[in-house]
């Protein structure tokens, strides 16, 4: 099945009991069983079934199955947010004394999270994305995972996943990819060798910005060495499902990172149109980026679809001829950036991406408020930069609006 068909048809859709076309919202904290023996079996993973929604729930299960199918993995765990998913994905395999090597081109929240992990004895080394020598140089006997974003938010660099996964495996560590910006519509990191994929499904997967959530999907191929990952020892018996089994029976349930069934339902609805939305979003973004870069030579327009992007070639190799919905523009000054944001009529000034509506933000004064100057520069955040998350509006209206906003900003400064 091709992309859209597979999203619509599978063992996740509908409800056998009633014929409902989507798995209904099981808004129940716990699930009763007729005998103590039955519940014992469920708690011992000896029978399928549900006991408590912090651990699993039929509506959430249906959404997780969709995500597994979407990313081409073997199992998924849905969390309350993208950040909860990242925390759980990392800490499921880390102990005090372990080290992470990551691309420095990251979402601001991830940089903040790595700082929080220092209190637990986990050290993070930042290196330039796609600089394999730098990744290797930062790797030592304590390194336990590599991390990068498929398309960095907001630097818009494109990670060469195949090259990075080969290096990770040479060093016996898994590669965890954040696929939020690209989505599986553009690239499936597991197919390029990544081991675990995390999505902030609050964004393109949900699509309408009506619920926060995040999902961890495991490819099931990484060979966990119990010496290096002592926590995995008791889960070896689950074979390829060891990582997910450990997570669901451990950190995920114990941190209470579960998603609400209601939000899982919204996500299942939203993701049915992921392909359609992405098709339109990518087309709009390409046209808007082209317009901005052709019309305003003083601006630096960054979009992986433009030949001027340093990452255009890797983007073509991994994504084909569509390049996602995020564009950044360096306008020359913070005043100019603010003036344009203030003059735009259609885009919402908002800290979000991946909506049906076009969104803009000045990341330096908002999302990266906790980052050091060095972290900001490495993440591609400058004080004259606007980030645009392109929506599904009619492109003529978007271009018209950007045109009047830039004109107005010229008069105001
Ligand atoms: C938004 C985002 C996150 C965090 O997700 P939340 O759902 O907001 O917790 C992580 N990574 C990237 C790339 C994001 O854009």
Structural domains of the chain, ranges and CATH numbers in brackets: 3-270 (3.40.640.10), 274-412 (3.90.1150.10)
pLDDT of residue 49: 93
pLDDT of residue 120: 98
| 149 Cα nearest atom in ligand 1 | 13
Q: DSSP letters along 232-254, please? A: GGGGGGGGGGHHHHHHHHTHHHH
Other Cβ atoms closer than 10 A to 65: 18
pLDDT of residue 88: 98
- Locate 91 and state its tokens: 């800490």
How many Å lie between the centroid of ligand 1 and the Cα of residue 10?
27
- Locate 386 and state its tokens: 């606007």
Residues 266-324: pLDDT tens digits? 999 999 999 999 999 999 999 999 999 999 999 999 999 999 999 999 999 999 999 99
CA–CA dist 400, 389 (Å, integer) = 17
* 74 CA to centre of own chain: 18
pLDDT of residue 411: 81
Residues 6+ apart with CB under 8 A from 216: 76, 77, 79, 85, 88, 89, 196, 197, 198, 244, 247
Residues 180-217: pLDDT tens digits? 999 999 999 999 999 999 999 999 999 999 999 999 99
CA–CA dist 295, 402 (Å, integer) = 11
How many Å lie between the centroid of ligand 1 and the Cα of residue 180?
7
Hey, whose CA ends up nearest to atom 9 of ligand 1?
A: 82
Hey, whose CA ends up nearest to atom 2 of ligand 1?
A: 200
Ligand 1, CB cutoff 6 Å, lining residues:
81-83, 107, 109-110, 149, 153, 178, 180-181, 200, 202-203, 212, 214, 353
Q: What is the dihedral of CA 182, 187, 191, 194, to 10 degrees?
A: -20
Low-confidence stretches of the chain (pLDDT beneath 50): none
| 213 Cα nearest atom in ligand 1 | 7
pLDDT of residue 413: 65
Total residues belonging to the chain: 413
């Amino acid at each position: 099945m091709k992309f859209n068909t597979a999203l619509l048809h599978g063992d996740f859709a509908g409800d056998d009991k009633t014929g409902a076309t989507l798995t209904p919202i099981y808004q129940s904290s716990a699930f009763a069983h007729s005998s103590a023996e039955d519940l014992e079996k469920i708690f011992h993973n000896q029978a399928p079934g549900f006991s408590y929604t912090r651990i699993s729930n039929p509506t959430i299960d249906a959404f997780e199955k969709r995500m597994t199918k979407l990313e081409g993995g073997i199992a998924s765990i849905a969390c309350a947010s993208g950040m909860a998913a990242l925390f759980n994905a990392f800490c499921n395999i880390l102990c005090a004394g372990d080290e992470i090597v990551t691309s420095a081109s990251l979402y601001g929240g991830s940089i903040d999270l790595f700082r929080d992990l220092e209190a637990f004895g986990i050290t993070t080394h930042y290196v330039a994305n796609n600089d394999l020598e730098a990744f290797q140089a930062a790797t030592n006997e304590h390194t336990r995972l590599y991390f990068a974003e498929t398309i960095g938010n907001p630097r818009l660099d494109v990670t060469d996943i195949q090259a990075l996964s080969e290096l990770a495996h040479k060093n016996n560590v898994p590669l965890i990819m954040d696929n939020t910006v690209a989505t599986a519509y553009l690239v499936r990191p597991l197919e390029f060798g990544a081991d675990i994929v995390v999505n902030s499904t609050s964004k393109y997967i949900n699509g309408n910005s009506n619920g926060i959530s995040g999902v961890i999907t495991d490819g099931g191929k990484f060979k966990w060495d119990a010496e290096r990952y002592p926590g995995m020892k008791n889960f070896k018996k689950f074979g390829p499902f060891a990582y997910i089994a450990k997570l669901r029976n451990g950190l995920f349930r114990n941190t209470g990172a579960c998603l609400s069934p209601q939000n899982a339902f919204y996500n299942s609805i939203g993701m049915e149109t992921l392909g359609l939305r992405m098709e339109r979003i990518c087309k709009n973004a390409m046209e808007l980026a082209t317009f901005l870069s052709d019309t305003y030579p003083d601006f630096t327009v960054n979009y992986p679809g433009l030949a001027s992007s340093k990452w255009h070639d890797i983007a073509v190799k991994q994504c084909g001829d569509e390049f996602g919905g995020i564009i950044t523009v360096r306008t020359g000054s913070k005043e100019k950036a603010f003036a344009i944001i203030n003059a735009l009529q259609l885009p919402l000034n908002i800290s979000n991406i991946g909506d049906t509506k076009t969104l803009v933000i000045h990341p330096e004064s908002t999302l990266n408020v906790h980052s050091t100057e060095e972290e900001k520069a490495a993440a591609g955040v400058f004080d004259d930069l606007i980030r645009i998350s392109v929506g599904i509006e009619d492109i003529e209206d978007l271009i018209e609006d950007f045109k009047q906003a830039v004109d107005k900003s010229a008069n105001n400064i």
